[in-house]
Structure 1
Amino acid sequence: MYWYHDPNYVQQYSPDIQQYDYYVYPDLERQPQLFGRVNQLERRVNELTLQVNQLQNTVERHTRRLNRLNQRLRVVENRLQIPFTPYEGGF
């Protein structure tokens, strides 16, 4: 058991250290198996970040297209001077 596994380490070390946010990194030299896992997680995070960015771009693109279509429909509605409602005089 290393010192960074001890939950009472912060209290043992210093009474005023708790006012800061400390994160103690485990030493990767003694635990080399953490290297591969960290790299794997970083690659997965990068892949998911790329997918999120692509989806955000897609949503933004379709939002702009819908806004343009809505604007064209308002132009047509104003030119024809009729209320643009469904089933208007259809029956």
Structure 2
Amino acid sequence: MNPYQYYSPQLPQQDVYQPYQTDRQPALERRVAALERQNEQQTRELTRLSNEDRRQNREIARLADQVNQLSQTVERHTRRLNRLNQRLRAVENRLNIPFTAGEGGF
């Protein structure tokens, strides 16, 4: 019979997960740091895009104002041309000048 057969040495009990956590902790810390850097970069990019969006919206508003002003100018000129055409036709009628669309565009 083996005298050591029933001998059970008392080894220190380790938490089963402790070695796993110890080995993984630096990797997890690196991953967290990488994610924090990525978050900061994305925040900076969002800020940049937001600023660019505001700048473009101001430019769009400026161009819309300019288009409105030009539209009003065109409207004024159109009304003026219409009045001038009416006066010209009145003069043509008084002078018995026949009106044809092919003559000078009037």
Asked whether the two chains share a fold, i.e. TM above 0.5, the reply is: yes
Unpaired runs of at least 5, structure 2: 1-15, 75-106
Question: For residue 41 of structure 1, what is the aligned residue in structure 2?
Answer: 31
2:7 aligned residue: none
Deviation at 1:30, TM superposition (A): 1.7
Q: Deviations over 1:16-66 (max 9, x none)?
A: xxxxxxxxxx82x22211010000000000000110111111111101100
Would you tell me which structure has more helix in proportion to its own residues? 2
d(CA) in 2 for partners of 1:38 and 1:80?
62
List structure 1 runs of 4+ shifted beyond 6 angstroms. Answer: none
1:69 is aligned to 2:59: yes
Give the whole-Å Cα distance in 1 for the aligned partners of 2:63 and 2:25.
57
Structure 2 Cα separation of the partners of residues 78 and 56 of structure 1: 32
The TM-score, its normalising length taken from structure 2, stands at 0.49
Q: TM-score, normalised by structure 1?
A: 0.56
Greater relative CO, 1 or 2 (CA 8 Å, sep 6+)? 1
Cα RMSD over matched residues?
Answer: 2.0
How far has the Cα of 1:77 moved from its partner? 1.2
**Structure 1 spans left out of the alignment, 5+ residues:** 1-25, 84-91
Counterpart AA for 2:19? R
- Report % sequence identity: 16
Are residues 1:52 and 2:42 paired?
Answer: yes
